[in-house]
């Protein structure tokens, strides 16, 4: 069997077909829909690919047209999908967004019994991590099916065994499981990661009410090598055993859709952190947090989970304060 292309980042999880009404209002009365794809891990994969990293995305898709759409879309973004499995017995998942003109969109999942929900430890192969540097996982995958949490745990362990670093975004989805099971499972995965990426609400869910600094110390104490707290409109803060850095937010004048902003943040952070050229933790953290804040803010400016994610040249221009020539 031929060797795989080198990958800066490997990620795996469920992607779904996303159907969005073309007009605002109750979903029940929407006459027309647009279709796209979405999934936390594939959102991160697209963000990283556009920022110049090589990415390998792995999942299980139904042997159906929706699976074809997901695989071809990601391949078109330059992502390696050669290890994706197609399952003729279980379908590709679907979800809907509902925009009512105020607040975040409502989200309706149709993913129970999907091909990805059947993911089990025996599906995780050492080959997944061949010629790779880093594994990124989220807390969504463990909630999908009876064996998906064990599959994620197996993947994190195997990645470390092969010398990869691992990042973990808890990406809490309360609709998918009970709070007790979510807290127990997510906490069990923190010691298996090098970079932990919770939002402030997720940190409170996992550890109770603390100060930001206490959260950093707490999760470092559980075994993470770096802790990155997303603070929304307040920016972000990062901790390592040697440094604690706060980065100011990238201000935007309006918010269209916050779904996918956390995935954009993760892509921005990892794209910088994995390519740092300094031994200075404080300097590396600040650079990664500033890029993460920028991408997270940009992601709120458009409908869709990933379509507006910027390419590297645009990020560099924005970070340098330059303006784009449009005509």
The pLDDT tens digits for 123-146 are 999 999 999 999 999 999 999 999
Task: Please report which confidence band the pLDDT of residue 217 belongs to, taking 50, 70 and 90 as the band edges.
Answer: very high
Write out 62-94 in H/E/C secondary structure: ECCHHHHHHHHHHHHCCCECCCCEEECCCCCCE
Read off φ and ψ for residue 231, nearest 5 degrees: -110, 15
Contacts of 210 (CB under 8 A, 6+ apart): 203, 204, 218
In a domain, 19, yes or no: no
Distance between CA atoms of 67 and 48, rounded to whole angstroms?
22
Q: Quickly list DSSP for 254-289.
A: --S--TTHHHHHHHHHHHHHTT---S-HHHHHHHHH
Average pLDDT, stretch 29-54?
95
In a domain, 33, yes or no: no
pLDDT value, residue 165? 98
Q: Quickly list DSSP for 121-156.
A: GGG--GGGGTTEEEEEEESSGGGSSTTHHHHHHHHH
In a domain, 173, yes or no: yes
3-state secondary structure of 29: helix
Do residues 189 and 197 make contact, with C-beta atoms less than 8 angstroms apart? Answer: no
Distance between CA atoms of 181 and 213, rounded to whole angstroms?
26
Strands in 55-58's sheet, in edge-to-edge order, are 55-58, 7-12, 132-138, 165-169, 195-196, 226-230, 236-240, 243-247
Contacts of 38 (CB under 8 A, 6+ apart): 15, 16, 18, 95, 259, 260, 304, 305, 306
- Six-digit token pair at 131? 């010629």
In a domain, 27, yes or no: no
- Six-digit token pair at 313? 């040249």
Q: What is the pLDDT of residues 58-114, one digit of tens each?
A: 999 999 999 999 999 999 999 999 999 999 999 999 999 898 777 678 889 999 999
Per the annotation, the verdict on 263 as an active-site residue is: yes
In a domain, 270, yes or no: yes
In a domain, 104, yes or no: no
Distance between CA atoms of 2 and 99, rounded to whole angstroms?
46
Distance of CA 286 to the CA centre of its chain: 20
- With b meaning 16 or more CB within 10 Å and e meaning fewer, what string describes 283-307? ebbbbbbbbbbbbbbbbbeebbbbe
Query: 49-53, 125-129, 218-222, 311-315: which range is least confident on average?
Result: 311-315
Distance between CA atoms of 11 and 42, rounded to whole angstroms?
8
pLDDT value, residue 323? 62
Contacts of 218 (CB under 8 A, 6+ apart): 207, 210
Q: What is the domain range of residue 203? A: 7-14+39-91+118-319
Distance between CA atoms of 81 and 204, rounded to whole angstroms?
35
- Six-digit token pair at 65? 């047209």
pLDDT value, residue 322? 66
In a domain, 20, yes or no: no
The percentage of residues in the chain with a pLDDT greater than 90, rounded to a whole number, is 79
pTM of the model: 0.93
pLDDT value, residue 163? 98
Do residues 281 and 240 make contact, with C-beta atoms less than 8 angstroms apart? Answer: yes
Distance between CA atoms of 226 and 129, rounded to whole angstroms?
22
β-strands 60-62, 85-87 pairing: parallel
- Quick one: DSSP state of residue 241? T
Task: Please report which confidence band the pLDDT of residue 32 belongs to, taking 50, 70 and 90 as the band edges.
Answer: very high
Task: Report how many domains make up the chain.
Answer: 1
pLDDT value, residue 218? 98
Active-site residue, from 263, 279, 280, 281: 263
In a domain, 2, yes or no: no
- Six-digit token pair at 302? 């458009």
Instruction: With a cut of 90, say whether residue 252 has pLDDT above it.
Output: no
Look up the CATH number of the domain holding residue 50. Answer: 3.40.1190.20
């Amino acid at each position: 069997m031929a060797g795989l292309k080198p990958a800066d980042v490997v990620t795996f999880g469920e992607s779904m077909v996303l159907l969005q009404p073309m007009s605002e209002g109750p979903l029940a009365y929407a006459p027309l829909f647009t279709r796209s794809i979405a999934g936390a891990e594939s959102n991160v994969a697209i963000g990283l690919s556009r920022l110049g990293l090589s990415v390998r995305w792995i999942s299980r898709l139904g042997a159906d047209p929706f699976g074809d759409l997901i695989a071809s879309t990601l391949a078109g973004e330059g992502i390696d999908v050669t290890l994706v499995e197609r399952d003729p017995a279980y379908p590709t998942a679907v979800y809907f967004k509902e925009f009512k003109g105020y607040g975040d969109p409502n989200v309706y999942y149709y993913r129970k019994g999907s091909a990805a929900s059947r993911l089990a430890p025996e599906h995780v192969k050492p080959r997944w991590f061949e010629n790779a540097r880093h594994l990124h996982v989220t807390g969504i995958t463990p909630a999908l099916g009876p064996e998906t949490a064990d599959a994620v745990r197996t993947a994190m362990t195997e990645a470390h065994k092969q010398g990869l670093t691992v990042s973990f975004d808890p990406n809490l989805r309360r609709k998918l499981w009970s709070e007790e099971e979510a807290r127990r499972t997510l906490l069990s995965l923190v010691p298996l990661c090098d970079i932990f990426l919770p939002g402030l609400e997720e940190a409170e869910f996992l550890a109770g009410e603390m100060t930001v600094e206490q959260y950093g110390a707490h999760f470092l104490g559980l075994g993470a090598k770096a802790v990155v707290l997303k603070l929304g409109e307040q920016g972000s803060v990062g901790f390592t055993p040697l440094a604690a850095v706060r980065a100011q937010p990238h201000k935007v004048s309006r918010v269209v859709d916050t779904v996918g902003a956390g995935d954009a943040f993760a892509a921005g952070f990892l794209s910088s952190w994995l390519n740092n050229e300094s031994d200075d933790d404080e300097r590396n953290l600040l650079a990664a947090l500033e890029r993460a804040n920028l991408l997270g803010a940009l992601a709120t400016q458009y409908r869709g989970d990933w379509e507006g994610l910027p390419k590297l040249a645009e990020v560099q221009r924005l970070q340098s304060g330059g303006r784009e020539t449009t005509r």
